[in-house]
Chain A
Amino acid sequence: MLTIEVTSLKKNYGNLKAVNDISFTVNKGEVFGLLGPNGAGKTTTIEIMEGLRERDGGDVKVLGLDPWKNGYELHKKIGVIPQEFTFFEKTTPREAIIYYADLFNIKVNPDEILREVLLEDSGKRNFDNLSGGQKQKTGLALSLVNSPELLFLDEPTTGLDPNARRAIWEVIRGLKAKGKTIILTTHYLDEAQQLSDKVAIMDHGKIVAMGTSEEIIQQHGSGERLEIHGSEKLADYIKVNTELQVNYDKAKEEIIIPLTKKIDALAALAAAEQSGMDWGQIQTLQDSLDDVFVKLVSEPMSEEEAIIEGKTKKKESR
């Protein structure tokens, strides 16, 4: 069953095409990771799905509802942590949970929710005294108050230290195990890889790759390669004496040979041995999601830069 269906979604800020004709679907119970550099259009996309922003074109259905037109209805069924979550300074996480429960007109056990997000210890401290991680956990706790089936987490770990990040991951895994559908945006590759069932990589408002991380690596990665530490002379020798494609990285003094068949590695090594020249460490490598990401995504751009660029373009066109 489809929880989210996005078709040809478009959103412009002036001349800037923040979201440029993207389509995807998310199944019930899936963790969907939206990955991309700053300014790629992740937050705009997620806010349109949450009903916080109006789209310029395309169609969006979330839990069968149009998020902009039926926002009030939709918000009762979803949980959201916006980017850089903040709350009333002089309110404790525990009070915040009770407040949200009152607003949703439901009864909850605040301690149970605090436990679920690993915040039992700090439930009675004012929000402005919490650490970054604890603040994010407060956001998570609030997004759970109305027991939503669908959660939107917009960069839930940005700016947190590694331990706090792992703690948030723990909470997200727990939610996933409970069968919740989760939309997650992040610019951390490991986070997307660790948590998501499906990843979409966004860049300049477009989805440049989508699927499981294995699928993305397979589709967009360069496959397996052999790397031999040695001289350029040796690289030339192998090139001449085999039918293999040989590249040389001068800086690293690394001979790089893409492998179409695993047996090619043997031919390369035989040639190297035959040359009588010295060579060091050998290894076979495969592209990680990291490599693919760098390959797919052009120079990262901050959101402000993107907006400034949009504005200057506007001025120039006048």
Chain B
Amino acid sequence: MVSAKRIFSDFKVFSRGYLRNKFGLFFGLIFPVILILIFGAIFSGGTSGKINVYAQDQDVGPFLSPQMDVASSFLTSLNNSGTIKVITVDTSKNFSQYLADHSSSDGIIIPSSFSANYLAGRQVNVIVYGNPTSSSSGIVSGTVNGIANYFNLNYFRGRYNDTTPAIIGIKSATVNTQQTKYIDFLIPGLIGFSILTSPMFSLVNISSEYKKTKLFKQLSLTPLTKMEWLTSKMMWYVVLTIAGFLLMVGVGIFAFNAHVALTIWLIPFLVLGPMLFAALGMLVGTVTKNPETAGVIGNIVTFPMMFLSGTFFPISSMPAYLQNFAHVLPLFYIIEGLNNVMVYSNLSGALIDIAVVAIITAVFFTLAVKLFKWRED
């Protein structure tokens, strides 16, 4: 019954038409790459990872020897912490006014006689300016706290200007042997994004348009069956997804030095994913009356998935009820699976995701073919 020749000739006509339409090509291939470039540039921007902090050192001495200037070595230690970058402010300036003028809420004041008090064992406070709503302020006060503790400890050990490491140190690391960067999480998310958007929007659009312009009726007058028609669309979006995948991974690796594992276990996601959303798009176009309604319903189905499935940020950063909601979104399992394969190398987790995606795809495909009518009664 099903003819490979008919599927292939329909595939040929559709893919050629797609490639001739510059908008579709842009949206399907170039757009995800642009997203990678933009997000990659925003979050992987080299030294800009440090937070700028203004500091005013009011402890101007006099010091008997440079070693007695504890205030300066305190600021140097802060600067070497790796998380903040100290920008010194002249003592002649009004500090809080200076912060406001530079649109900054993070600042440190070392009071006068800081060094003398420290050396004499008298309590002295470092003033930390911050904005409680900003995450950078937490990092600044944490860092200052850490350095202050270190200096307190050294005082009791009687070593003021000590560079020997503390007994308990911290080495930063992430899961996996390689250091994982934001771009490594971003690539699976954006692959998921393009797996969702291209087939979904396209199939919602053509299935409702073809119904309106009676192109389906026309095709029903040929031996092409609706299952063959849908199959050829799915094939095209698998091809497009794989092309987009190679482009995105290529850009990620060459432009941002991303570390992602490329194994054959990616293939089930790159094949089933576009099939799933092509079938879902078809379903939306089929059950709605006209292209306008189809577009609205299509957006209602697509947009929550686009943002809540771990595309741009991990779902663990969302409140619990949204995380629960994410678990009913098909895209969640694709992105989770891609992360399991590409970032965590967690194969058993990926296999569960593959099984879930395969079942959802089978259900949507069957429903789409069943409900979709070539002709009217």
Contacts and interface: CB of A to CB of B under 8 A. Distances in A.
A301 interface: no
B120 interface: no
B13 A80 contact: no
A124 interface: no
Nearest to B212: A86
A87 B215 contact: yes
B6 A103 contact: yes
B377 A105 contact: no
Interface string B98-138: 00000000000000000000000000000000000000000
B220 interface: yes
A170 interface: no
B259 interface: no
B93 interface: no
Given A82-B214, A126-B20, A95 B222 contact: no
Contact of A76 (B5, B10, B16, B223): B223
A88 B214 contact: no
A103 B17 contact: no
Contacts of A50: 221
Contacts of B12: 99
Interface stretch (A16-24, A51-59, A223-231, A264-272): A51-59
B9 A99 contact: yes
A218 interface: no
A187 interface: no
A124 B134 CA distance: 62
A104 interface: yes
A44 to B, nearest CB: 10
B51 interface: no
Contacts of A105: 3, 5-6, 223
B181 interface: no
A82 B375 contact: no
A214 interface: no
Interface in A202-225: none
Contacts of A75: 220-223
A103 B229 CA distance: 11
Interface residues of B, number: 26
Interface string B182-226: 000000000000000000000000000000011101101111100
Contact size class for A?
A: 20 to 34
A111 interface: no
Most buried by A among B3, B5, B377: B377
B20 A90 contact: yes
A158 interface: no
Most buried by A among B18, B220, B376: B220
A100 interface: yes
Given A103-B6, A105-B223, A54 B377 contact: yes
Most buried by A among B3, B16, B221: B221
A82 B20 contact: no
A110 B97 CA distance: 81
Given A100-B222, A103-B224, A95 B16 contact: yes
Contacts of B13: 88, 91, 95-96, 99
B282 to A, nearest CB: 17
B21 interface: yes
Contacts of B5: 102, 105
A86 B10 CA distance: 16
Interface in B1-38: 3, 5-6, 9-10, 12-14, 16-18, 20-21
A243 interface: no
Nearest to B14: A88
A84 interface: yes
B139 to A, nearest CB: 53
A103 B21 contact: no
Interface string B337-377: 00000000000000000000000000000000000000111
A89 interface: yes
Given A53-B377, A82-B218, A102-B5, A90 B223 contact: no
Contacts of B3: 105
Nearest to B222: A103
A83 B218 CA distance: 10
B7 to A, nearest CB: 10
Nearest to A53: B376
Contacts of B213: 84, 86
Contacts of A80: 218, 221
Nearest to B9: A102
Contact of A90 (B10, B17, B221, B377): B17
Contacts of B220: 52, 71, 75
Interface in A59-100: 71-72, 75-76, 78, 80, 82-91, 95-96, 98-100
A235 B20 CA distance: 72
A103 B375 CA distance: 18
A126 B17 CA distance: 9
Nearest to B218: A82
Given A51-B375, A99-B9, A90 B222 contact: no
A127 to B, nearest CB: 9
Interface in A145-159: none
A13 to B, nearest CB: 10
B222 A104 contact: yes
Interface string A130-151: 0000000000000000000000
A167 to B, nearest CB: 22
Nearest to A86: B213
24 contacts: A50-B221, A51-B375, A52-B217, A53-B377, A72-B223, A75-B223, A82-B218, A83-B214, A84-B213, A85-B218, A86-B215, A88-B13, A88-B17, A88-B215, A90-B20, A90-B21, A91-B13, A91-B16, A99-B9, A100-B222, A102-B6, A103-B9, A104-B222, A105-B223
Interface of B: 3, 5-6, 9-10, 12-14, 16-18, 20-21, 213-215, 217-218, 220-224, 375-377
Given A53-B376, A71-B375, A105-B6, 18 more contacts: A51-B375, A52-B217, A52-B221, A53-B375, A53-B377, A71-B220, A75-B220, A78-B221, A82-B214, A83-B214, A89-B17, A90-B18, A91-B13, A91-B16, A91-B17, A98-B9, A103-B6, A104-B223
The 4 closest A-B pairs by CB, nearest first: A102-B9, A90-B17, A90-B20, A54-B377
